[in-house]
Amino acid sequence: MEAIKQLTDIKRIGIVKRTGDQWSQYTKKFNIDVLPELAAIRFEAMGVCGVYINGEFLEGTTGRYAGRVAYFECTSLIKKGENEITIKLGDHYHQIIGEEIRARRGAIISSVAAEMEFISGNERTTLVTDESWALTSDDGQTETIYFSDITVAEYDRLWKSAAIWHEYKGFDIPEAVASFAGEDYVNYTKNCYAKYAYPKKVFNSNMYTLPDGTLTSRISDMGAVWLFDDSALPTAFFDFGRIQVGYLEIEYEADKDTAFEARFDYSEHAEDLFLENRHKGWVTNLQIRTPLKKGRHTVMLNHRRAFRFLRLHFEGQFTTVHLLSVRVRLSLMPYSQAGWFNCEDKMLNKAWEVGKYTLHVNKHEEYESCPRTEMKFFSGDGIIAALIDQYAFGDMSITDSSLSHTEIADNGGIVFDKIARNVGLWEYPAWRIITAHNYFVYNNDLKLADKYFDELTICLDWTIGKLNSKNLVYQFPIFGGAFYNVSGSVEYTCSCDRLGEKPLVNALLYRSLICMAEMGEALGKGKPEAWRALAEKIKTAINEHLWSEEVGAYLDSYDTSFIPQDGNALALLFGIAEGDRATKVMRTLERENWSPYGSAILSKHISHTRGGNTTISPLMCTYEAEARFLLGEADSAMELIRRVWGTMLKMGAQTFWEFMNNNDTVRWRVPAHAWSAGCTYLLSAYVGGIRTNGKGFESILYQPYGNMERFTCVTPTPKGLMVSKCSTVEGKKHFELLVPEGIKVESIIPENAEFTLTTY
């Protein structure tokens, strides 16, 4: 029977809580004779969860998604002799939802499974959750419930793939790189890790009723410590300057037992908080209540939140609460600030940096869609996230933990049944394949491709199974709901009505066939020759059936009244449009889709497709700009960058938005979406000009942008740091490249420019 079950020693333990508040605590003492080289803990939870080592808070998880495994290093917290690990387990996600569930079920059911590992040399020992862990709970329960065991399959797929959060240990720059890149870069790499974020501004409840136009005159700049009297209660507001991700921590002194309610606002604009008719979909207010004890104390919420604005509302009309400190204990993956971009244009520098930060707040157990509600991995988002990660931090390893999650096609692109029909977001299986292929190309590493190859083949076969006799995929409606309503989103614009043979889906199928063929050839698996042959047939079919010579663009067959940016941008990027046809596509997009704000999703207004021409997708503008760089139209690519990301910065973006309106309104400005931060990748790869030739940077193409006066770009790679520099003296351009020894360099340098290659 044990051989059939294939269980690990890790048990899911928990509690059925019918009375008391939301928290229970599990504790285990253990002895350490020799300090380990690495100590870390993997854990998953059903319910909000916080982990403490010897009384020090390590990290937590929201417990929102099944199979989401956190993996944190805690080497510095371990001591010789007796140690203690404590897991504080609470309600589900946040209290409002939890209270509704508890009322309906008559109980809260929470669980946690954890494995602590200690590594010294080749020796590895573990400590796992089981029935022996001591339980304390406010309702008097002391008996831990043993729910189930982690299976070997779960462990291999999810636990082993979890991305480890290493403790920050600093960053050593090779002397040759420091000298070549310069003092500004060296200073940039220092002090990049912060433990806490403090408010930049604070304002009290009197502000809440004031008109929008008078806000700025009443907000006062504050430091890290405040003292409020009764006039500042019962409500205080805090502005943290930009989106922060972490755990709210306050130090206070109260004259009696009371409570506060914290409301976390995700907007990036203060005026949104005071507009009664604001669009509720874009400003998320998540509320958490917690008790405060009489006296002076510090309280930290184990609920991880993403927010810029915070409102604290205190109960008790005659209660006095002195706030001594309000801060956020950051939950951001520690990193080495290795990548860098700096040029004469301050806007481009800021765009690069804001894009990097946008990705950083989305790097948790996997590449999240956005941190607003701890959204899961979407493979279409993950492609851009991994590319930014490579150029900003030199790390694409989270691709593995992202792909390991067994979510449905709507999220990660996995298809379990090759003939399934009602699957949303038809292009996501292709995005999943391209994500895996990118990792292979940038790291010259086949382990990940091999690990996921069989399921990627199923994804490919599923899409191939949708081909009609014209060798094109026809997107049909997705039916769902009790009465088979046509309600499913068919692609990334979240439309359920954009149907037919679309350049978007078919271009992605073409590209995924090429990617699978390349990985299959390297692994000696699959059907590389057949996949390449089918790719050519699909390319021919797209050019034969979806091209309009009259319009000068590729059109959806179901509705030919608009020009879709997505399918045309990808046709350019993937080489489906070639020669004069590619030039016509670029001119058509400029004429029909471009505006001062970027390149619109569609060339006309369609309300159900993100508004059609009223909306800009920074994601698709990344692909259009990249295609223009590759096709020799770098100036138009730079113009698109300035329009899209420059506009967001002018409108106050501190992180880049999911979509943006094609005008000065703010309808789509949902912040902190990594798929919208592609400018960071573009500026490094196509202005700095260092790109892999498909061998994990063992061989590179160096093609810097020629119309900048100066820039310095540092690119972290698996082979080491590479530096690209441009300078202009008396009108003469000079490009310099520093790479580690042994790197093969193919260079394409602008005309009449000088080029120097140096190795170290």
* 219 confidence band (pLDDT: 50, 70, 90): very low
CA 601 to chain centre: 22
Say if 196-330 and 340-688 have the same CATH topology: no
Q: Alpha-carbon distance 305 to 310, whole Å? A: 11
Domain covering 196-330: architecture = Sandwich (2.60)
Judged by DSSP in three states, 684 sits in: helix
* 227 confidence band (pLDDT: 50, 70, 90): very low
2-159 CATH choice from 2.60.120.260, 2.40.30.30, 3.50.50.60, 3.40.50.1970: 2.60.120.260
Q: What pLDDT, in 10s, does the model give residues 293-302? A: 999 999 999 9
Find the farthest-apart pair of alpha carbons in the chain and give their distance in angstroms, rounded: 80
Question: What's the whole-number mean pLDDT along residues 303-330?
Answer: 82
Q: What pLDDT, in 10s, does the model give residues 57-69? A: 999 988 888 889 9
* Contact criterion met (CB below 8 Å) for 145 and 82: no
Question: What's the whole-number mean pLDDT along residues 548-558?
Answer: 98
* 277 confidence band (pLDDT: 50, 70, 90): very low
Q: What pLDDT, in 10s, does the model give residues 370-416? A: 998 778 899 999 999 999 999 999 999 999 999 999 877 678 899 98
Place of tokens 């371990």: 78
Please provide the average confidence, as pLDDT, over all residues in the chain: 89
pLDDT at 282 > cutoff 70: no
pLDDT at 202 > cutoff 80: no
pLDDT at 431 > cutoff 80: yes
pLDDT at 209 > cutoff 50: no
- Minimal CA–CA distance to 267: which of 677, 680, 678, 668? 668
pLDDT at 612 > cutoff 50: yes
Q: Is residue 727 within a helix (H) or strand (E), and if so which, with residue range?
A: strand 720-729
* 91 confidence band (pLDDT: 50, 70, 90): confident
Per cent of the chain over pLDDT 70 is 90
Higher pLDDT, 649 or 107: 649
Listed range (145-154, 270-279, 352-361, 462-471) with the worst mean pLDDT: 270-279
**b/e map 463-488, b = 16+ CB within 10 Å:** bbebbeebbbbbbeebeeeeeeeeeb
Listed range (281-285, 338-342, 646-650, 723-727) with the worst mean pLDDT: 281-285
The upper half-sphere exposure of residue 263, i.e. CA atoms within 13 Å in the direction of its Cβ, equals 12
Listed range (153-162, 415-424, 569-578, 726-735) with the worst mean pLDDT: 415-424
Fold that domain 340-688 belongs to in CATH? Glycosyltransferase (1.50.10)
Burial classification of residue 512, based on how many CB atoms lie within 10 Å of its CB (0-12 exposed, 13-18 middle, 19 or more buried): buried
How many other C-beta atoms lie within 10 A of the C-beta of residue 648?
A: 26
Judged by DSSP in three states, 107 sits in: coil
Question: What's the whole-number mean pLDDT along residues 111-127?
Answer: 96
pLDDT at 494 > cutoff 90: no
Q: What pLDDT, in 10s, does the model give residues 675-712? A: 999 999 999 999 999 999 988 999 999 999 999 999 99
CA 224 to chain centre: 29
pLDDT at 213 > cutoff 70: no
Q: Residue 489 has which token pair? A: 């989103």
State residue 170's pLDDT score.
Answer: 83
At residue 631, what are phi and psi to the nearest 5 degrees? -95, 10
State residue 265's pLDDT score.
Answer: 83
pLDDT at 666 > cutoff 80: no
State residue 143's pLDDT score.
Answer: 87
pLDDT at 324 > cutoff 60: yes
Q: Enter the DSSP assignment of 271.
A: G
State residue 205's pLDDT score.
Answer: 43
At residue 517, what are phi and psi to the nearest 5 degrees? -65, -45
- Minimal CA–CA distance to 119: which of 179, 32, 240? 32
How many other C-beta atoms lie within 10 A of the C-beta of residue 640?
A: 26
End-to-end Cα distance, the chain: 59
pLDDT at 279 > cutoff 50: no
Question: What's the whole-number mean pLDDT along residues 75-96?
Answer: 87
Cα three-residue angle 50-56-61, rounded to 5 degrees: 20
pLDDT at 10 > cutoff 70: yes
Q: What pLDDT, in 10s, does the model give residues 471-489? A: 999 998 887 766 656 677 8
State residue 523's pLDDT score.
Answer: 97
pLDDT at 211 > cutoff 70: no
State residue 262's pLDDT score.
Answer: 86
E strands, 413-506, in order: 474-475, 479-480, 485-486, 500-501
- Minimal CA–CA distance to 91: which of 303, 293, 262? 303
Q: Residue 607 has which token pair? A: 């309300």
Q: What pLDDT, in 10s, does the model give residues 122-179? A: 999 999 999 999 999 988 888 889 999 999 999 999 999 999 999 988 889 999 999 9
pLDDT at 274 > cutoff 70: no
Listed range (114-118, 200-204, 574-578, 696-700) with the worst mean pLDDT: 200-204
State residue 231's pLDDT score.
Answer: 42
At residue 414, what are phi and psi to the nearest 5 degrees? -75, 135
State residue 212's pLDDT score.
Answer: 35
Domain borders along the chain are 2-159, 196-330, 340-688
